[in-house]
Structure 1
């Protein structure tokens, strides 16, 4: 390593832990973990078409860990990625002519660096690779090693569940930039709220009932389109009123992903609409997969805000999911106070950062600072917060 390069490397590290992490990253690159199979990279707008057959074959095995790794979600996300200038980079690992693993990524630009992210990010709520039943961690290692050669400065692989297929590989090679929890309700168990929380829920239900009959409607497919559009509108208005921004809500390209999914994949998206006296009180857009119901997006009608419509809607939706054979109601990350109240468990969800270059080391430090920056910005007045978020590009 030239002296100048070494000095720049050390200058990018501020503490002994970071110094150790930097050397560990270099060591792992020099002595990679066991790999298997051969990797092929498909790039550009046609990459998804090139890998469709192998991807769908793995889906038919029932090997997907979450709906966010489905080909349908990837295909719906492609136009949004292209609209934002992201370049698909999909790595396929084969052995004996069979597809063992697929690592779907996009090349993006963040803070002046070329950064790889999961295909579907920021829409997807869980990131992972697609691994066949015959696939192993060694095949995922081959995919990750191929990703390191794509010319990126770093990879930011967000929202990786502790039980994700790629979790153990990333835990050995990447740095953790954020840890959150995704609460869930085990619908196979009869879990009751505490007496205090149950009493509060009954009080909210009585308040809503004063407006008329309280009823939950579940729709899918084209019947759910207007429901999803209303949920997006309510969420946009709420974000604007609080001075918050979102990478998905308010972004036309990413919002179109949701509307296309609901009309073209009726088995994937559902909309739960709670009404009081025939008027909308609360909405939940859910993504379903197997026996898991994922509470993807929630919104309330401001006129009912003092009646706890979101809590009642969620309680009734949980009852609906249980009655229809779902095993889990996934509240997704991050965990908040109400989610913890109704949850029966939680799983860790991590953002992993993997630097490939010296600029990538700086980018990884920025990734680690971003959550704290957002937290600090959240304490500012709404107009100042919105301007600062735009300036710092922390959306």
Structure 2
């Protein structure tokens, strides 16, 4: 709804405020009057009227006054162009090159993904106040620069694709293992991210990274039925019931990966980070059991990823794989080099705790688990980490 109003009225603040007022009106009226036959239509109509009312109140500004009369305007609408979905259109609009990449991702997570500022801050590993300022500045820049809410051209779509893919993946990750709240998995976010991924695939069928991201999300989501136990505890990959994995999603992802392998073999562009991540997940999925996982291939794939994206988190993930090939001591040495930049990241301390446990250093492992538990926002992760800590000897 926010996306549709932003496209129509060209103002993010108006779109967000009108949407919030429409839901508030529904909360007040529906319990008394009953839910209308078409709830979505009622909300959309109410939000549109709220937006028009606000713009009319500001009618001394000619541009706003013109926008307020849009509902009565007989002028044919602009062609929708290659992007037919309002939410996908808003993604591309917010990924305008005038905004810094981090601002594009944060703003669209807020508007399209519906994430709160604390959730987005956790995804970016920054303070809430920093993220709030970033989103506010992004909105202000859009308004000050008069960035239009219109359909991007085909060239613009490709120029903005990296930011859009980053947004979709962060929305998926927040849904797959929610950073906070009582629900470890937010299916509405994972489903929305996959839906957007499929739309992007339809829009850009020859783009390798679009295919790679969709395959990555499908393979990850395929494991969701086995991801959380009945008691609400995270189940790690090596402990999951592989028979519970969604084979239809795995088949869809595998077809995408095979397609990209054939393209690369025929001289196409080398795989990017999403294709490499999809390949890593495919190695896990192809293994009949955790014991049979080809860790050497995973380490090699992470090595290629580090060349493309030498971020601390990629290096952390590579070190975890190195532990399965060269042992926990080698991996711990690699992880400890990341301590300064990843000290506020719970997964860093969780990985370190496990390696220390395997090395028999129970006291240090317990301290690392305590730190990871304190930083983890997801209840399923906290439950898992607490159990692992309590199982330590001594």
* Alignment TM-score, normalising by the size of structure 1: 0.27
Superposition TM-score, scaled by structure 2 size: 0.27
**Structure number with higher relative contact order (C-alpha < 8 Å, ≥ 6 residues apart):** 1
Give the helix-richer structure, 1 or 2: 2
